[in-house]
Structure 1
Amino acid sequence: MSIGGLESLGAGDALAAASALSRSAESCINDLISSAEPEFLHLTEQDDGIYNEFRRSFPTMMIAILNPEDLKSETSKEKWRAFCLLFDGKVAEFNFGTLLRLNATGEYSDENTIFATRIQFYAVEIARNREGCNTTLWAKTTEASKDGVTTTLSDDVQGVA
């Protein structure tokens, strides 16, 4: 199982894929985060099991601002591999690659994303929702919509909203 992403692509193809994924991810997170208060948001039918196993496997991992080494170091990869395999057959496409925000209050951007497996994304984002890390982002998106402003996360970060 590969925990990473686009290593097999050339630099140009990897950049194009990352850019496309980033736009898609930003749209998705805008829709998800603004749809409900994060503590009540469910990403899968397996949220409770994913969260409980994540915190059992990674009890001290800081999730508000992820350290890439917590996902990509050789030691971390071994722990994540064991975690990921727990969801084989339980979570569809658990080992597919996706983007994960490093900083929970930031947008999807080249500087604020890392490639991860789908189950890593679910584990971290479910934990962020339950532990209050996505509340700031939710407040930004809902405040903008109350004001009748349509914004993207990148608009908000740039001060346009």
Structure 2
Amino acid sequence: MASDFGKEIGADGLLAAASVLERPGEEFVNDSMIEELWAIKAFEHAEIYFNLLSSVDPKILRLTKLDDQIYKHFREVFAEMNVVSVTEDQLKSAEAKECWRPFCEAYKESVDDYNYATLIRLDSSKEYSEANSIIVPRVQFLAIELARSREGHNDSIRVNFKPKKLQSRS
């Protein structure tokens, strides 16, 4: 995914890009460089998160200080959602967006980068891959992953996968 792009621009380039990406989204037009930088950051987050799942009991993993609130709210709004395996349609269809938008906006002031592009695995029993990942807002990722961890759907990760050495981006 992020492969050679991060190596091409180096550590200084990535640091400069990170500061640019902190600016309001309204300032940007569809710029392929910006999109690629977002993809690199989302991929790096996915690598780190999956290594955590591979190393730590998911039931004790804390993702934010609001984990309990996010999980409770998620299950109130999406009581019937089976988080073992989700589809793009469940997360991004017009109908789904009508439910997800107010859920996500509820965390606009309380969750840092609540709307940040974050990769989520569609099937919780598998690792991140192009076929098993889509980009969602960070709070949507948090809600689903908190449910997966608390409900035992991430338990098999430590058994079936070992932590990987993270690739140096410099």
Return the TM-score normalized by structure 2: 0.71
Tell me: CA distance 1:25–1:107, structure 2 relative to 1, closer, same or farther (3 Å): farther
Alignment of 1:1-161 (within 5 A): 8=30, 18=39, 20-21=40-41, 23-141=43-161, 144=162, 151=164
**d(CA) in 2 for partners of 1:58, 1:32:** 26
User: Which residues of structure 1 form unaligned runs of 5+?
Assistant: 1-7, 145-149, 153-161
User: For 2:146, what is the secondary structure of its paired residue?
Assistant: helix
State the Cα distance separating 1:35 from its structure 2 match: 3.6
Whether the 8 Å CA contact 1:26–1:107 is kept in 2: the answer is no
User: Which residues of structure 2 form unaligned runs of 5+?
Assistant: 1-29, 166-170
Counterpart of 1:116 in structure 2: which amino acid? V
- Provide Cα deviations, 1:79-105, integer angstroms capped at 9, x if missing partner: 100100111111001011111110111
Counterpart of 1:31 in structure 2: which amino acid? N
State the Cα distance separating 1:58 from its structure 2 match: 0.5
**d(CA) in 2 for partners of 1:97, 1:15:** 12
User: For 2:129, what is the secondary structure of its paired residue?
Assistant: coil
State the Cα distance separating 1:30 from its structure 2 match: 3.4
**d(CA) in 2 for partners of 1:105, 1:117:** 21
**d(CA) in 1 for partners of 2:42, 2:130:** 8
Return the TM-score normalized by structure 1: 0.75
**d(CA) in 2 for partners of 1:13, 1:23:** 14
Tell me: CA distance 1:83–1:26, structure 2 relative to 1, closer, same or farther (3 Å): closer
How many residues align? The count is 137
State the Cα distance separating 1:78 from its structure 2 match: 1.1
**d(CA) in 2 for partners of 1:98, 1:134:** 18
User: For 1:138, what is the secondary structure of its paired residue?
Assistant: helix
**d(CA) in 1 for partners of 2:88, 2:31:** 21
User: For 1:123, what is the secondary structure of its paired residue?
Assistant: helix
Counterpart of 1:131 in structure 2: which amino acid? E
